[in-house]
């Protein structure tokens, strides 16, 4: 092994030999995983996995039963496959006088762009040591530090404000499921249990749009009726307008009741 230089472990401060063309290495002294790119030394962190396959599936089912998903998706979806892996992400923390901000960028390609919205709870990062984990569950990063940094610059972040950059491995269960002949994918983040998906069998919006339009028409009609009644009983224009406003209130309430009931049944049906 040809040794170019020494690098300092960001965790224990020990000097390690820097091998040529090695981007990933383990500190020979404390076992921390280290990433090096053009002399930039980065620590690998890992986020604790708090879910097993069953509890992760439970979260997915609750998400499927939610208001944005098609009715009975939780009962009708057929899970065909579940994969568990640690997904690598570049983690940048910027600091200025007033605030701290965290930016995340996938360190490998993914079809689920929602993954960028993930929140990493403070204090959940643990130094990654290979011997404590099943290394085959870790996806190897292929987006290098340089590309992640230029992405950061493109999103308008001043490189000088970056106070910390790390590589973070986040545990996920990836579920594949079938619904009405179509295959879908959803991720359950195994630290918080949050569900991430780009596409899912969604509720049809058309009945709600029709309902919204009908609601406006009904209330407009009620307003016109109120003023007509107002002018029927009051000769004075001002008094007629005031009584029109007052008649509107009970009429609105009467109109709202069937609309709410109809909306409830539409929401249950679709």
Q: What is the binding site for Zn ion (CB under 5 A)? A: 9, 11-12, 14, 27, 29-30, 32
Tokens at 63, concatenated: 């998400």
Query: 11 vs 69, which CB is nearer to Zn ion?
Result: 11
Q: How far is the CB of 30 from Zn ion (least distance, A)?
A: 3
In order of 19, 132, 136, 163, 166, the CA distances from 126 in angstroms are: 25, 11, 18, 18, 11
Q: How far is the CB of 92 from Zn ion (least distance, A)?
A: 22
3-state secondary structure of 22: coil
Q: Supply the DSSP symbol for 69.
A: B
Query: 60 vs 168, which CB is nearer to Zn ion?
Result: 168
Handedness of CA 244, 246, 251, 253 (dihedral sign): positive
Q: How far is the CB of 16 from Zn ion (least distance, A)?
A: 7
Query: 13 vs 159, which CB is nearer to Zn ion?
Result: 13
Q: How far is the CB of 13 from Zn ion (least distance, A)?
A: 7
CA distance 84 to 175: 9
Alpha helices per DSSP H over 130-192: 145-154
Phi, psi values for residue 63, rounded to 5°: -65, -40
Q: How far is the CB of 28 from Zn ion (least distance, A)?
A: 8
Q: How far is the CB of 43 from Zn ion (least distance, A)?
A: 9
Nearby residues of 41 by Cβ (< 8 Å), 6 or more positions away: 7, 8, 9, 10, 34, 35
Query: 29 vs 212, which CB is nearer to Zn ion?
Result: 29
Query: 25 vs 118, which CB is nearer to Zn ion?
Result: 25
Alpha helices per DSSP H over 46-193: 53-64, 73-76, 145-154
Q: How far is the CB of 7 from Zn ion (least distance, A)?
A: 10
Torsion angle of the four alpha carbons 46, 47, 48, 49, in this order, in degrees rounded to the nearest 10 = -110
Tokens at 264, concatenated: 């409830």
Closest to 143 in 3D by CA, of 119, 161, 167: 167
Phi, psi values for residue 44, rounded to 5°: -90, 135
Query: 27 vs 186, which CB is nearer to Zn ion?
Result: 27
Query: 27 vs 36, which CB is nearer to Zn ion?
Result: 27
């Amino acid at each position: 092994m040809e040794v170019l230089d020494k690098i300092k472990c960001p965790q224990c401060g020990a000097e390690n030999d820097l091998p040529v063309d090695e981007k990933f290495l383990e500190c020979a002294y404390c076992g921390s995983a280290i990433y090096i790119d053009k002399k930039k030394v980065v620590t690998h962190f890992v986020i604790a996995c708090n879910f097993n396959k069953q509890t992760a599936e439970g979260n997915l089912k609750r998400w499927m039963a939610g208001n944005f998903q098609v009715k009975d998706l939780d009962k009708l979806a057929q899970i065909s496959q579940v994969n568990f892996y640690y997904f690598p992400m570049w983690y940048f923390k910027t600091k200025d006088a007033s605030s701290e901000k965290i930016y995340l960028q996938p360190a490998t390609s993914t079809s689920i762009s929602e993954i960028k919205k993930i929140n990493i709870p403070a204090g959940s990062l643990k130094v990654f040591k290979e011997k404590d984990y099943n290394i085959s569950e870790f996806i190897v990063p292929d987006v290098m530090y340089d590309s992640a940094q230029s992405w950061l610059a493109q999103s308008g972040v001043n490189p000088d404000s970056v106070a910390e950059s790390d590589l973070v491995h986040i545990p996920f269960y990836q579920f594949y499921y079938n619904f009405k002949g179509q295959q879908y994918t959803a991720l359950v983040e195994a630290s918080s249990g949050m569900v991430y998906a780009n596409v899912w069998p969604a509720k049809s919006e058309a009945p709600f749009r029709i309902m919204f339009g009908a609601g406006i028409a009904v209330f407009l009609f009620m307003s016109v009726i109120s003023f007509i009644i107002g002018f029927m009983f009051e000769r004075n224009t001002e008094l007629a307008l005031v009584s029109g406003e007052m008649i509107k209130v009970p009429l609105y309430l009467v109109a709202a009741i069937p609309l709410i009931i109809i909306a409830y049944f539409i929401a249950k049906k679709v």
